Chains A and B, each alone.
Chain A
Amino acid sequence: MTQDLQETIRRAQRGDRDAFSLLVEQHYAAMFSFACRYCGDRQDAQDVTQQACIKLARAIEQFRFESAFSTWLYRLVINCARDWHKAQRSRGCGERGGELDDVPTHDNAESAVMLRQVIALVERMGEGFRESLVLVLGEGLTHAEAAAILEVKESTVSWRLHEIRKRLNAGLNAELQPGVGV
């Protein structure tokens, strides 16, 4: 962690509004990018990121410099995303299926739909699988880094990814055609 970042966090923890504002400015892009990969949907990701930013206002005080700030932020976003999806489900609307925003290119649209299908599938494998997938393959983190964020053993992350590969390769390619609802 750079000296600057540490100083900014400490100032924000003391109630410095500008420091907090700077913190959000600096990390919004990273949070949003991760939320996109986690949700597979820009609109959801925007909402989740906004929730995470709001949560940060209260949670920043609890950051103890025991882990990297980015690790801590990943946890925050994951928690917000889980809460968000829980709330969505209890409101009766499932995760966004087909409609797309921001008019992406045709190529992108296909891969986005594909990704959502993969995510939906992995989500149903159990708790922690989706997070492991997004952190390792989406964010390019090592198994150890992902394990630190999820607060599990490194072997657990490796095992989860192994299971995910098995599941995706077990003749499911046929199911995962663009446009086929999962």
Chain B
Amino acid sequence: MNDRELENLFARLDDAPNVDAKERALTAALQAFDAVQHEKNSANASQGFAAASRLTSERPSFGRKIMQRLTTRNSTQRWLYSGMASAAVLVLGVFVALQLPQYSGVEVPTEVASVVRMTDLAVPAERRIDTMVRGVGSDAVREKKAEIAENASVAQLSADESEVDMPAAVAAAAAPAALQRSFALEQGIVFANRLGGIAADAIAPPGYQDVGRDKFETAAANPIKRTSEEPVSTFSIDVDTASYSFARRQLNAGALPQKAAVRLEEMVNYFPYDYPLPPDTSQPFSTNVTVLDSPWKAGNKLVHIGIQGYEVTGAQPRANIVFLLDVSGSMDSPDKLPLVKQSVSLLLDRLQPQDTVAIVVYAGAAGTVLEPTQVKDKQKILAALNRLQAGGATAGGKGIQLAYQLAESQFIEDGVNRIVLATDGDFNVGIYDTEELKGFVERKRESGVFLSVLGFGQGNYHDALMQTLAQNGNGVAAYIDTLGEAQKVLVDEATSALFPIAKDVKIQVEFNPATVSEYRLLGYETRMLAEEDFNSDTVDAGDIGAGHSVTAIYEITPAGSDSGAFAGSRYAEAPVSAGKSDEYGYLKLRYKLPQESKSRLISQPIGMHTQATPDMLREAQFATAVAGFAQLLEGGKYLAGWGFADALELAQANRGDDPYGYRAEFIQLIRKAQVAGAM
């Protein structure tokens, strides 16, 4: 085949455009063009969002048809439409006046009307009415909006045609109707402006609010196990607190939280406990074991394992923090983006002047809002923060990659390198697949950049995903529902959220079959590990931050007690005592220091007759109350009639010092659950 033949092939191709197809393409292109222009006018330049290209329609819009009809210079029709325009604006005026009686007597500034060129009026009017409608957010007005906007453009058209370029007073002589129209429009603008102002001051921005799309993953409560069959129990610690604040939010709203939202260990670990600090830093934390009677089942015992990390003393390690903030439209709610801004500025107070902070946002597109900046330039950081606005489309950007890039560019050896992701659940951060996202975060963890997740808002909260990310990113998942919670997580407990003192902390308990017949771990369902994982240094587990306390509770049935769930076996031989008959079991704990990859081991026996100090007993009792409450919220399968009233009594009796009032709040919460449960 030679060139000539090829050319012929091309030449013989039928390439005459199809008229319909051309028309369709033109319509689509014009729509895109309009969208681009609109976007240019309204886009928030500092965030640079790109709207997705619009769907193409084969038919011109209704608005265009009207415009075409009007240009046919049919004067009757024109007057009809312009009449409609003034009428519609008047209707709006009356509506507004009725809504806001104090402004019913608005005077029309005639001098303004006479100066403003009529041709200029229609467009601003249209835009302002639009703004106003958004500000008010009432459906009725929203319906009116389309009509008014259309009519406003019609009015513009007729104004264009009459070519009024002179003061309105002169125009009045020539075209009374036009003048009337101009007043009507002017009035509309005045109302719209006033209303806009008022709406901004008084009415909370309505914002888009998802309802009922919170996602949780159900994990069945850990079952009771026979010590003779499975004497060893292994799990990873969990320092998240998201579940408690989410449940609190629901309860404050008068509803019981969904069962899947309750994670016992997160509720128990929400509270700081007064465990003794480790004597020295050679071992990053102290382990405290307390055995007490089970309040809900006579004969059973509860084994409390309390871990207390040391507090950072002396110089705080240097920090390099990148905030990855969700600014999608759904964040436009008082309990979301504004709270995020407040939370971030709270955290700034806890950082040192030479620490760096950067801000990356994602929504329609990802963008760096603030390059890494030292905290001493606080004004600059706050200014960048305050510029943020919720808005933008759905398509994701490269948010998370960008955040990691920034964090890596400022990497501090021996310091804290952390990304703090704040979102209401929309994870369009650039990687869509959950597994891929998980893998990405996990790989990045190896590079030393950790990820913490702060959840905000309600209605579209993807709990499971946030847990997964924080777990894989060696970070904390916290749910922030109020400024008070932000204060707790980011100020009072900032050191534990930011500065890890031990990582991959795993707990393994081996129960003694001679003294314990059955046991059950309360909570930690999502953190269970296989027995062999305990000694494997490649298996990831939870981390402990400076000053963190972690509590785990086992419910055990001592051998010989008839409080067990299982009936005795006819054939199995009675376990032979191995000579350690005064031990319930043996506690082993593995951890790695933050910079190390080899784990260290702590172990101690769980004695049957060890006497706990009154302080320890009080703390353990309070933890029990919380654990009981969590089980009640989950359905109370193992509680045998123990109820909210009992939890209330137990919590009240063991409130202790409670310097921050968290326990007092918990007691209120039990009362609320009582009420909500009765409904």
Contact = CB atoms under 8 A, between A and B. Distances in A.
Interface in B351-377: none
Q: Mostly helix, strand, loop or mixed at chain A's interface?
A: helix
A17 B30 contact: yes
Interface in B21-36: 21-22, 24-26, 28-36
B53 interface: yes
Contact of A25 (B7, B9, B21, B26): B26
Contact of B26 (A21, A102, A104): A21
B28 A53 contact: yes
Interface in B394-441: none
A36 B18 CA distance: 12
Contact of B25 (A50, A112, A138): A50
B12 A33 contact: no
A80 to B, nearest CB: 11
A90 interface: no
A28 B2 CA distance: 30
A67 to B, nearest CB: 21
A115 interface: yes
A54 B53 contact: yes
Contacts of B16: 29
A160 to B, nearest CB: 13
Contacts of A120: none
A148 interface: no
A144 interface: no
Contacts of B28: 50, 53-54
A54 B56 CA distance: 9
A20 B9 contact: no
A110 to B, nearest CB: 9
A37 B36 contact: no
A45 B18 CA distance: 11
Which residue of B2, B10, B31 has the most chain A CB atoms within 10 A of its CB atom?
B10
A114 B15 contact: no
Sort chain B's interface into a size bin.
Answer: 20 to 34
B46 to A, nearest CB: 19
B13 interface: yes
Q: Mostly helix, strand, loop or mixed at chain B's interface?
A: helix
A137 to B, nearest CB: 5
B8 interface: yes
B15 A33 contact: yes
A45 B13 CA distance: 12
B50 to A, nearest CB: 9
B1 interface: yes
A165 B3 contact: yes
A9 to B, nearest CB: 13
Interface in A31-66: 32-33, 36-37, 40, 42, 45-46, 49-50, 53-58, 61
A33 B31 CA distance: 23
A94 interface: no
Interface residues of A, number: 46
B385 to A, nearest CB: 30
B37 interface: yes
Contacts of B26: 21, 24-25, 28, 53
Contacts of B18: 42, 46, 102
A50 B24 contact: yes
B69 interface: no
A173 B35 CA distance: 49
A102 B24 contact: no
A137 B7 contact: yes
Nearest to B10: A138
Which residue of A28, A107, A134, A169 has the most chain B CB atoms within 10 A of its CB atom?
A28
B14 interface: yes
B13 A40 contact: yes
B13 to A, nearest CB: 6
Given A28-B26, A42-B14, A46-B18, A58 B32 contact: yes
Contact of A108 (B3, B14, B21): B14
A58 B32 CA distance: 7
Given A15-B37, A118-B6, A50 B15 contact: no
Nearest to A15: B37
A111 B12 CA distance: 7
B5 to A, nearest CB: 9
Contact of B29 (A15, A24, A46, A134): A24
A111 B8 contact: yes
A12 B14 CA distance: 31
Contacts of B24: 50
Nearest to A50: B25
B127 interface: no
B56 A137 contact: no
A144 to B, nearest CB: 17
Interface of A: 12, 15, 17, 20-21, 24-25, 28-29, 32-33, 36-37, 40, 42, 45-46, 49-50, 53-58, 61, 102, 104, 107-108, 111-112, 114-115, 118, 133-134, 137-138, 140, 165, 168-169, 172-173, 176
9 contacts: A12-B33, A25-B26, A29-B17, A37-B10, A54-B32, A57-B35, A108-B12, A112-B13, A118-B1
Interface of B: 1-3, 6-10, 12-18, 21-22, 24-26, 28-37, 40, 53, 56
Closest 9 pairs (CB-CB, A-B):
A53-B29, A57-B32, A57-B33, A33-B15, A50-B25, A138-B10, A36-B15, A46-B21, A54-B32
Given A17-B33, A53-B28, 12 more contacts: A15-B40, A32-B15, A33-B15, A46-B25, A49-B17, A50-B28, A54-B29, A57-B35, A112-B13, A138-B10, A168-B6, A173-B1
